[in-house]
């Protein structure tokens, strides 16, 4: 029964390209019209068929993790990308769409991240091992979208370009006090302190990231220009000339978006400028994947531009600029994925088993496919209290660093 139902679903879903499925009994069948991307997958156990019919996103992830769904690593991206692309245009059963609509409607309940839950969620993802992240991130450990000023530049160069692009939008002057909400391993804070003369306070809920950020500051001779704290953003009470937040809004949760931007309003000085860098949908609100929520980012939520805008509107801040970065996170994730695969012997030496490796591989593949095949990008939302705190054109973004530092010193 379940196989008949899954075959019926695949016939309706795959409307572009071709998917070859090898069933547990060894038979194979193709789905889709062809004349497009092609992929193949093997179902090794009958139990996964019913699970895929009932909860496809969760079953796909768990089935791949435990080997009931098998696909060669070098072909996994093609398989996932084919599914994601067809999900945008194919027809899923009505109960799938109804469940997604219900989860969107209930996101105000599901996404309640109080301070204790937020810290638990952060520990799940970020406190596993810094050594693992060092294997696939750039040298500065930037765990967010890079900025490819040229498609051929290295990951290191693209991450530096990202930090500089953000710094330019902050209109920094030496000595300014900067708050970094969700400072990660300290790379952005250290860059702003070293290269732009800022005095940076970084807050995080990850003990691993806090320890690493503080150690890096000491090693770089920047301990007097940085202050890293284990602190929930809601408990910040100081005022700052500039506020920056990179890749943290995704952890806030839908019910707390207004609270987050209200806090940015409160901690930003009257003449201040804030820059929020976040993953976002340029499509209507969508629920978080149940597999991502369970295994990768508990409590995470990718907001739509309409949700971010609605929260900013209530904050009392000027939206001085919005930039949508397209075509940058897919290549970033591709770099991470290739580095992770190349480092597998070291991943195993760190004690991670094959189930974890398959989970992490799928996480990187799914995210890359989402950025390449859906209306998902990165938002740069620049905010201020005053209309003229930011220049009225974008010309200031593309001057040389030396010119900006000269202007700032005058």
pLDDT tens sequence across 328-368: 999 999 999 999 999 999 999 999 999 999 999 999 999 99
Q: DSSP strand E in 10-77: where?
A: 17-22, 28-34, 38-43, 69-70
Alpha carbon separation from 201 to 74, 230, 233, 246, 379 (Å, rounded): 42, 11, 12, 14, 23
Active site residue 71: no
**Is the separation of the CB atoms in 306 and 371 below 8 Å?**
no
Phi and psi, residue 285, nearest 5° = -55, 140
Based on its alpha-carbon atoms, the radius of gyration of the chain, rounded to whole angstroms, reads 22
| DSSP letter for each residue of 269-335 | EEEEEEEEEEEEESSS--PPPHHIIIII-TT----BHHHHHHHHHHHT-EEEEEEEE-SSHHHHHHH
pLDDT at 401: 47
Residue 80 buriedness (CB in 10 A; 0-12 / 13-18 / 19+): buried
Mention the CATH class of domain 113-325+369-409: alpha beta
Distances (CA, A) of 49 to 1, 44, 54, 342, 406: 10, 10, 9, 32, 64
Give this prediction's pTM: 0.92
Catalytic residue among 71, 145, 183, 367: 367
Tell whether the torsion through CA atoms of 339, 149, 363 and 28 is positive or negative.
negative
- Percent of the chain scored above 70 by pLDDT? 88
At residue 364, the 3 state secondary structure works out as: helix
Q: CATH 3.40.50.150: which residues of the chain?
A: 113-325+369-409
Per-residue pLDDT of the chain (410 residues; tens, 9 = 90+): 899 999 999 999 999 999 999 999 999 999 999 888 999 999 999 999 999 998 999 999 999 999 999 999 999 999 999 999 998 876 666 656 666 666 665 565 565 666 656 666 666 676 678 999 999 999 999 999 999 999 999 999 999 999 999 999 999 999 999 999 999 999 999 999 999 999 999 999 999 999 999 999 999 999 999 999 999 999 999 999 999 999 999 999 888 999 999 999 999 999 999 999 999 999 999 888 999 989 998 888 999 999 999 999 999 999 999 999 999 999 999 999 999 999 999 999 999 999 999 999 999 999 999 999 999 999 999 999 999 999 999 999 986 544 444 444 43
């Amino acid at each position: 029964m379940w196989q008949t139902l899954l075959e019926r679903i695949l016939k309706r879903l795959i409307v572009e390209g071709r998917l070859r499925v090898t069933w547990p009994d060894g038979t194979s069948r193709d789905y889709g019209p062809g004349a497009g991307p092609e992929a193949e997958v093997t179902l090794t156990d009958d139990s996964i068929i019913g699970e895929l019919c009932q909860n496809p996103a969760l079953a796909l992830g768990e089935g791949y993790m435990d080997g009931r769904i098998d696909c060669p690593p070098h072909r996994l991206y093609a398989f996932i990308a084919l599914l994601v692309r067809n999900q945008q245009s194919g027809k899923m059963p009505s109960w799938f769409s109804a469940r997604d609509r219900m989860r969107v409607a209930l996101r105000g309940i599901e996404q309640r991240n109080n301070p204790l839950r937020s810290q638990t969620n952060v520990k799940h993802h970020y406190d596993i091992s810094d050594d693992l992240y060092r294997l696939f991130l750039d040298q500065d450990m930037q765990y967010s979208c890079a900025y490819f000023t040229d498609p051929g530049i290295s990951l290191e160069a693209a991450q530096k370009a990202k930090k500089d692009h953000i710094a330019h939008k902050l209109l920094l002057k030496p000595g300014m006090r900067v708050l970094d909400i969700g400072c990660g391993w300290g790379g952005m804070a250290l860059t702003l302190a070293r290269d732009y003369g800022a005095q940076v306070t970084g807050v995080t809920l990850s003990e691993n990231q806090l320890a690493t950020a503080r150690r890096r500051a000491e090693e770089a001779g920047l301990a007097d220009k940085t202050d890293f704290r284990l602190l929930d953003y809601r408990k910040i009470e100081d005022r700052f000339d500039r506020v920056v937040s990179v890749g943290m809004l995704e952890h806030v949760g839908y019910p707390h978006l207004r609270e987050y931007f209200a806090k940015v309003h409160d901690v930003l000085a009257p003449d201040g400028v804030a820059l929020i860098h976040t993953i976002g949908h340029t499509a209507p609100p969508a629920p978080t994947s149940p597999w991502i929520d369970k295994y990768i980012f508990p409590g995470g939520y990718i907001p739509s531009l309409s949700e971010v805008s609605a929260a900013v509107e209530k904050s009392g801040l000027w939206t001085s600029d919005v930039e949508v970065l397209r075509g940058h996170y897919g290549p970033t994730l591709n770099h991470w994925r290739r580095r992770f695969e190349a480092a597998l012997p070291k991943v195993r030496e760190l004690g991670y088993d094959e189930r974890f490796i398959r989970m992490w591989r799928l996480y990187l593949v799914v995210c890359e496919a989402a950025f390449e095949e859906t209306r998902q990008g990165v938002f740069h939302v620049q905010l201020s209290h005053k209309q003229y705190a930011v220049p009225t054109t974008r010309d200031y973004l593309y001057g040389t660093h030396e010119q900006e530092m000269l202007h700032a010193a005058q």
